[in-house]
Amino acid sequence: MLKSIATEQLRLGMYVHSIPGAWINHPFWRKSFKLDSFEDLQALRASPIREILIDTAKGRDVAPENFDEDDEDDSQSESGQSAAPAADASAPRKTGARTDTAVERERAARIISSSKSTVLNMFSEARMGKAVDVKDAAELVTEITSSVSRNADALISLARLKTTDDYTYMHSVAVCAMMISLANQLGMSHEETKQAGMAGLLHDVGKMAVPLDILNKPAKLTEEEFASIRSHTVAGHSILQQIDGIGQAALDVSLHHHEKIDGSGYPFNLKADQISIMAKMGAVCDVYDAITSNRPYKAGWDPARSIRHMAGSAGHFDPTTMEAFVKAIGIYPTGSCVVMQSGRLAVVVDQRPDHLLTPRVKVFFSTVTRMPLKTEIVDLARTSDKIIAYADHSKWGIRSLPSLDL
């Protein structure tokens, strides 16, 4: 039974059937979901939304008048975790104490710098038809895994800041890091996580079989050129099959990361359950990094716009995997432009994994005076100001966002 209730009546265990208004006005990439996260409950109650449509057939009903729902909610508040099972997308595998972002970004910068020769050498061997030696790649995956376990946001946010010239190798590094972070979010084992990282690093090796003038063409591709691009999945699978000891995950992701759950993908038009979890992960990570990156034919979108686009691509991504990905990179991904309750614009510069609604931001513009502000880092966990929506900085005549430096 569908029932419209006031936002303050929401309780854990309810099923949200729909949220009124545009997606940009609230921090949820989908409008229908089981409300089993205390942070999601807080986000809805703190939002400007007045009413929510719930489905009592799929979740809990409104509390009876003599029920003190605050007692139930408070039992969740200390950890911010729901009663969801450990394998749920909202319950990531713990990876130890989180390293300070500024410190980890210095380490991550060194990893990214040293990764260039490793990835380019590996891809050059593939382009020349030689067997790829992945020993160095395995060591790189280990380094990236360690960095992600210390602070996932540090390396991922740096890897997103690529130029068109270094896209080939940086895309591989970025997808590797996101696959590892997503594997952690999904609660995968250490071995599965390592395999996910290797799959991310090698997922596009088949593009070495595509002519460079097609890969880097700034204009619209012809049908023949697009067919050449699409062939990279089969080519990559063939290249990886020649490597002794290559994992099944790498083979699978290289071949199937462009499949879609509605069957409209390629190369085999696989549907939903026919696609492995690793390939579903690869599809999400590959597309997110591609559309947030500057390419010869288009400028990259900001993270928030990219997530909205992906969430609206019905039939493309597996919903559970997509939800886990959003939680892995943050409800407000690093690099997103947001508008604050105070009327200031800010860019998200650091995540708080246990408190996704209160990241650290760098304020830089007043929408009230329509004037730039002196940049300032604000920890939203320590102030009454809060994010009320994503923002399109170009609408305010702002050409570029401040750096992510802390």
Same domain, 13 and 30: yes
Question: pLDDT at position 82, please?
Answer: 35
Give the domain range for residue 111. 101-329
Q: In terms of domains, do 204 and 175 share one? A: yes
pLDDT the model gives residue 392: 86
Domain stops at, among 281, 302, 329? 329
| Domain stop point among 23, 43, 77 | 77
Residues 105 and 130 in one domain: yes
Q: Does residue 226 sit in helix, strand or coil?
A: helix
- Residue 129 belongs to domain with CATH number: 1.10.3210.10
168 and 285 within one domain: yes
How many angstroms separate the CA atoms of 60 and 50, rounded? Answer: 19
Report pLDDT for 199. 98
Confirm whether 86 is domain-assigned: no
For the stretch 31-83, pLDDT in tens is: 678 887 766 777 777 666 778 889 888 888 875 544 444 434 433 333 333 33
Regarding whether 131 and 71 lie in a shared domain, the answer is no
406 lies in some domain:
no
Quick check: is 303 in a domain? yes
Q: How confident is the model at residue 331 (pLDDT cuts 50, 70, 90)?
A: confident
Is 191 inside any structural domain? yes
* 355 within some domain: yes
Q: What is the mean pLDDT of residues 237-246?
A: 92
pLDDT digits (tens, 9 = 90+) for 99-152: 999 999 999 999 999 898 899 999 999 999 888 888 889 999 999 999 999 999
**CA 52/CA 33 separation, integer angstroms:** 12
Q: Looking at the structure, do residues 347 and 324 belong to the same domain, yes or no? A: no
User: Domain check: are 371 and 313 in the same one?
Assistant: no
Residue 218 covered by a domain: yes
Q: What is the mean pLDDT of the chain?
A: 85
Give percent of the chain above pLDDT 90: 53
pLDDT for the residue numbered 78: 35
Nearest in space to 15 (alpha carbons), one of 52, 59, 48: 59
Looking at the fold, whether 67 and 107 belong to one and the same domain comes out as: no
For residue 402, being part of any structural domain is answered with no
Could you tell me if 365 and 235 lie in one domain? no
**Could you tell me if 186 and 283 lie in one domain?**
yes
- Report the first-to-last Cα separation within the chain, whole angstroms: 49
Judgement on whether residues 116 and 213 belong to the same structural domain of the protein = yes
Question: Residue 84: pLDDT band by 50, 70, 90 thresholds?
Answer: very low
Q: Quick one: which of 9, 5, 49, 11 has its CA closest to 27?
A: 49
Residue 369 belongs to some domain of the structure: yes
**Structure confidence at residue 94 (pLDDT):** 52
d(CA 336, CA 393): 10
pLDDT, residue 30, reads 63
Total structural domains in the chain? 3
Identify the domain boundary among 312, 329, 346. Answer: 329
pLDDT grade for 87, boundaries at 50, 70 and 90: very low
Return phi, psi of residue 363, to 5°. Answer: -80, 145
- Does 146 share its domain with 218? yes
Higher pLDDT, 354 or 386: 386
